[in-house]
Amino acid sequence: MPARVSHSACLRDAISLFCSTYACLQRGDPTSMDVTILKDYGKSLRTLRRTLEEKQAGNLETFAAVALISRSESVFNPAWNPFKRSHAEAIVAFVAKWGLPKADYDFHSEILFQALEDMMFHSFSNRVAPIWDKSPHREAIAEASLRFFAPPLRPYGAPLIQIFMEYFTKAPKLLSKVLRINRDSSSPGMRDLAIKIVNALVGDTERARNALNPLLEKAFEMGEISEVDATEPNFFLPTHYKLNPGRFGECLNLISVLLVGMARIRYDLSVLYGLPCADQIYATYRKECVAMWKFIPFRIQIFKTFGFRAVSMMTLPYECAQGREKEFMNDLFLKENEHPSRLPTDRRELEAAMLLRAMAMTGRLPFVPEGAASPNLASSNDCNC
């Protein structure tokens, strides 16, 4: 990005905002943070607005600036909703416009990868199919994600990326159906639909695990990932994962989110209808949570400042945390994510807030506030998971 600043005022001001936000967080003064960066925030938005009015507005530099402003904004915007990012519509529009990376392949791929979470939450909160639902965007984003795998790992990573994108393409519709089941569990057909969803998720989980295990085996063999003794103070597990390349670690973490989320939905629906497999599913859910928690020191390391992703990634296994696990998680959210998440400082309120987020991410609460207009994808009884 720095090489492009001279011919893109929009990107220049977005980088300035990002850097000033980083500096404020490093100083650790929560009382002055909003005031300190408000000037740079206003300037970056004004420059973005002017750029978008120009004929040549739709270039990669502008796309990068929007993604960067979105990342920075999540840190200090007091009204920030974790499931409705304000710049997501623009990001989706840019992805639709650019499609497959062409010139400056690495730069374009990096922007696509960084924008993945915005696009994911955009599809969830609006209950619409994500942009990667169709070609060429599906291939472009999959290829962008795969670029962060070492070349020997790409044959192992390709099927996993495909499963990940496949699942999150279905997720808005799936969560709508799970929400409808939870709200109206006694209605005719709801129990059958729940069982159908549970069975479909069993198949999805098996496919994901069958793709992930060979990748992990090869990555351990190559030294791209290792399991080391815990060094983080008060960490509640004896070991954790150590990863050299950050982007590869992010990809693995996204797959962990997928596995934890599928297990939790299966468990909730099984408990709702008293299915005999509930205890077994909870054991699976717990196992997936433990595997995901091993990424926590890695997440602290690479997202120490912009902790939004640390919060969002750790939301799903939070419900499973007990005793020392929950205390560590609470300390992490209060310390590392004071600004990014605007989470309550009272521990009881914090736990309630995290629970609400987890329920929204697993279909027990809506992603959007009640009464907000959004397409209804829950009208059909076919699972199509």
The pLDDT of residue 372: 43
CA angle 250, 219, 313 (to 5 degrees): 20
Co-location of 65 and 162 in the same domain: no
- Tell me which of 74, 97, 119 is where a domain ends: 74
Co-location of 319 and 216 in the same domain: yes
Kindly state whether residue 231 falls inside one of the protein's structural domains. Answer: yes
Kindly state whether residue 310 falls inside one of the protein's structural domains. Answer: yes
Residues 155, 217 contacting (CB under 8 angstroms): no
Kindly state whether residue 141 falls inside one of the protein's structural domains. Answer: no
pLDDT class of 33 with cuts at 50, 70, 90: low
Co-location of 54 and 179 in the same domain: no
Co-location of 69 and 163 in the same domain: no
Residues 204, 185 contacting (CB under 8 angstroms): no
Co-location of 159 and 65 in the same domain: no
Co-location of 60 and 199 in the same domain: no
C-alpha torsion 170→176→181→183, nearest 10: 160
Distances (CA, A) of 305 to 41, 102, 145, 157, 175: 17, 32, 23, 28, 31
Residue 112, pLDDT > 60, answer yes
**Secondary structure (3-state) at 81:** strand
Q: How many angstroms from the chain centroid is the CA of residue 273? A: 29
The pLDDT of residue 361: 87
The pLDDT of residue 297: 85
Residue 305, pLDDT > 70, answer no
The pTM for the full model equals: 0.80
Q: For 51-72, how does the pLDDT look when each residue is reduced to its tens digit (9 = 90+)?
A: 888 866 678 899 899 888 887 7
Which position has the token pair 């399991």? Answer: 227
Kindly state whether residue 80 falls inside one of the protein's structural domains. Answer: no
Residue 30, pLDDT > 80, answer no
Q: For 230-278, how does the pLDDT look when each residue is reduced to its tens digit (9 = 90+)?
A: 987 789 999 999 987 667 887 888 888 889 999 999 999 999 999 989 9
Q: For 5-18, how does the pLDDT look when each residue is reduced to its tens digit (9 = 90+)?
A: 888 999 999 999 88
Residues 271, 328 contacting (CB under 8 angstroms): no
Average pLDDT over residues 294-300: 85
Co-location of 160 and 64 in the same domain: no
C-alpha span between 102 and 312 (Å, rounded)? 31
The pLDDT of residue 308: 46
Kindly state whether residue 217 falls inside one of the protein's structural domains. Answer: yes
C-alpha span between 144 and 106 (Å, rounded)? 8
Q: Which of 302-306, 316-320, 333-337, 362-366 has the lowest mean pLDDT?
A: 302-306
**Residues near 285 by beta carbon (within 8 Å), at least 6 away in sequence:** 260, 263, 264, 266, 267, 320
The pLDDT of residue 304: 55
Q: For 167-178, how does the pLDDT look when each residue is reduced to its tens digit (9 = 90+)?
A: 878 888 899 999
Co-location of 70 and 158 in the same domain: no
Instruction: Specify the number of domains making up the chain.
Output: 2
Which tokens is 68 given?
Answer: 């960067």
Co-location of 57 and 163 in the same domain: no
Kindly state whether residue 373 falls inside one of the protein's structural domains. Answer: no
Kindly state whether residue 228 falls inside one of the protein's structural domains. Answer: yes
- Tell me which of 43, 74, 105 is where a domain ends: 74
**Residues near 67 by beta carbon (within 8 Å), at least 6 away in sequence:** 87, 91, 111, 114, 115, 118
DSSP 4-24: GGGG-HHHHHHHHHHHHHHHH
Co-location of 31 and 164 in the same domain: no
C-alpha span between 148 and 158 (Å, rounded)? 11
C-alpha span between 329 and 323 (Å, rounded)? 10
Q: Which domain holds residue 67?
A: 1-74
The pLDDT of residue 78: 47
The pLDDT of residue 79: 43
| Sign of the dihedral through C-alpha 278, 281, 283, 285 | negative
The one-letter amino acid code at 356 reads L
Co-location of 69 and 158 in the same domain: no
Q: For 145-173, how does the pLDDT look when each residue is reduced to its tens digit (9 = 90+)?
A: 887 788 999 999 999 888 888 887 888 88
Which tokens is 182 given?
Answer: 């939870």
pLDDT class of 118 with cuts at 50, 70, 90: confident
Residues 79, 69 contacting (CB under 8 angstroms): no
Kindly state whether residue 236 falls inside one of the protein's structural domains. Answer: yes
C-alpha span between 11 and 65 (Å, rounded)? 5
380 torsion bin: left (phi>0), alpha (psi -120 to 50), beta (else) = beta
Residue 142, pLDDT > 70, answer yes
Residue 338, pLDDT > 70, answer no
- Tell me which of 74, 94, 110 is where a domain ends: 74
Strongest mean pLDDT among 9-23, 48-62, 211-225, 367-381: 211-225
C-alpha span between 34 and 25 (Å, rounded)? 10
Co-location of 175 and 278 in the same domain: yes
